[in-house]
């Protein structure tokens, strides 16, 4: 990389462009910046569409590099500015990404456990499923992993086991389990094998939940060191995970207006019109899906806030569905977030003034 930059430098200004700045492009970008070279970012979707304009259907690294270079030379408007992340943002991005990976693994293991329970004893799955991720239920499955072992233990022993980690819900949950065990009189093929797998899955899920709790504490601590932490957390419905997602997904990117940020997040509606027969606006299927999901869930959490609730109710009165109203609220809150981060100002509800 350094040898290549040295060879190009005598020929004029050098521009280094990547389409994946956060993964395989991280080291080349660091070398380019250290050498004083200007860097840029070509979004992956734009890169693929530009590649379709070139002849041939091959997909090789050499062809992709040629497409990126040609786009940088002939279509500079397609490039995005790429600022260097500070140490806090880089650390937060790493931790937040790992937290998201753990969340996905937790969902996979939970679905696997519920699938096995549904296969061997549907009534037992209905009793345990809603509380599956509770430590008491996971501990119970590790100790009594089959319907037969639960029956042999008896209702009193099940309640005593649950009471160690769930004193308030132990009796009610034990009643539900015992009632479920009485609703099935046959043994489904594969129950013995499931009894070997379930305790291991329960142990794995327990470990994943403990790991995510530890990582969440680190994410929250790392977020506290970022200059935008207090600004983002002041908006109702935004927790430390949403704030971390917003920071990491928008790091190094410039948004001239709130509309640009909304389009990047996939919250801006898409107009579709053709003559007089096709008219209307539809939700965008593009944008940063992780940021879109975070802002959508934050809007749902913000329904307890009077200002957000009033806006949601107004959209519902306009005959919009629950999802449409929430998406509209997320879009409006995206504008608020843009203004807050641009001015570095805490959230101030409508009708009040900052002290």
pLDDT of 352 above 90: no
Is beta strand 38-41 parallel, antiparallel or unpaired with respect to 80-81?
antiparallel
Sorting pLDDT into bands at 50, 70 and 90, what band is 280?
A: low
Q: Which of 17-31, 76-90, 221-235 has the highest mean pLDDT?
A: 221-235
- The rounded distance, in Å, linking the Cα atoms of 98 and 241 is 12
220 exposed, middle or buried (CB, 10 Å; 0-12, 13-18, 19+)?
Answer: middle
What are the tens digits of pLDDT across the range 162-174?
999 999 999 999 9
pLDDT of 39 above 80: yes
The label of the residue with tokens 């499931």 reads 194
Q: Which range (18-22, 97-101, 236-240) has the least confidence?
A: 18-22
Quick one: pLDDT at residue 211? 96
Element (H, E) at 157: helix 155-163
pLDDT of 353 above 50: no
> Which tokens sit at 235?
């908006």
CATH of 89-223, one of 3.40.30, 1.10.287, 2.60.40, 1.20.120: 1.10.287
Count of Cβ atoms closer than 10 Å to residue 3 Cβ: 7
What are the tens digits of pLDDT across the range 44-60?
777 778 888 877 777 88
Quick one: pLDDT at residue 275? 60
Quick one: pLDDT at residue 278? 52
- Cβ atoms 41, 79 nearer than 8 A: yes
What are the tens digits of pLDDT across the range 57-87?
778 888 888 888 888 888 887 777 666 655 6
Quick one: pLDDT at residue 105? 96
Domain ranges of the chain: 2-84, 89-223, 229-343
pLDDT of 354 above 50: no
pTM over cut 0.85: no
């Amino acid at each position: 990389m350094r040898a290549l930059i040295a060879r190009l430098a005598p020929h004029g200004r050098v521009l280094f462009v990547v389409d994946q700045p956060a993964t395989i492009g991280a080291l080349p970008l660091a070398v380019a910046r250290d050498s004083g070279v200007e860097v840029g970012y070509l979004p992956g979707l734009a890169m693929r569409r530009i590649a379709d304009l070139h002849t041939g259907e091959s997909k090789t690294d050499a062809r992709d590099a040629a497409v990126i270079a040609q786009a940088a030379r002939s279509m500079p408007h397609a490039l995005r500015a790429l600022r260097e992340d500070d140490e806090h943002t880089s650390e937060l991005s790493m931790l937040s990404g790992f937290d998201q990976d753990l969340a996905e693994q937790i969902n996979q293991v939970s679905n696997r456990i519920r699938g096995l329970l549904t296969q061997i004893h549907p009534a037992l799955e209905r009793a345990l499923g809603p509380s599956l991720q509770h430590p008491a239920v996971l501990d119970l499955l590790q100790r009594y992993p089959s319907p037969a072992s639960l029956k042999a233990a008896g209702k009193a022993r099940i309640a005593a086991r649950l009471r160690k980690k769930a004193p308030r819900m132990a009796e009610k949950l034990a009643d539900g389990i015992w009632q479920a065990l009485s609703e099935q009189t046959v043994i489904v093929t594969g129950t013995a094998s499931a009894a070997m797998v379930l305790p291991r899955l329960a142990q794995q899920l327990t470990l994943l939940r403990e790991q995510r709790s530890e990582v969440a504490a680190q994410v929250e601590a790392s977020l506290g060191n970022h200059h935008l932490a207090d600004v983002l957390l002041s908006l109702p419905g935004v927790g430390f995970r949403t704030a971390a997602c917003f920071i990491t997904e928008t790091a190094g990117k410039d948004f001239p207006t709130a509309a640009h940020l909304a389009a990047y997040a996939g919250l801006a509606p898409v107009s579709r019109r053709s003559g007089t027969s096709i008219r209307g606006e539809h939700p965008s299927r593009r944008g940063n899906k992780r940021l879109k999901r975070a802002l959508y869930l934050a809007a749902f959490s913000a329904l307890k806030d009077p200002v957000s609730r009033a806006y949601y109710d107004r959209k519902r009165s306009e005959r919009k569905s629950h999802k449409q109203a929430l998406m509209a609220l997320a879009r409006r809150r995206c504008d608020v977030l843009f203004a807050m981060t641009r001015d570095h100002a805490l959230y101030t509800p409508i009708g009040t003034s900052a002290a």
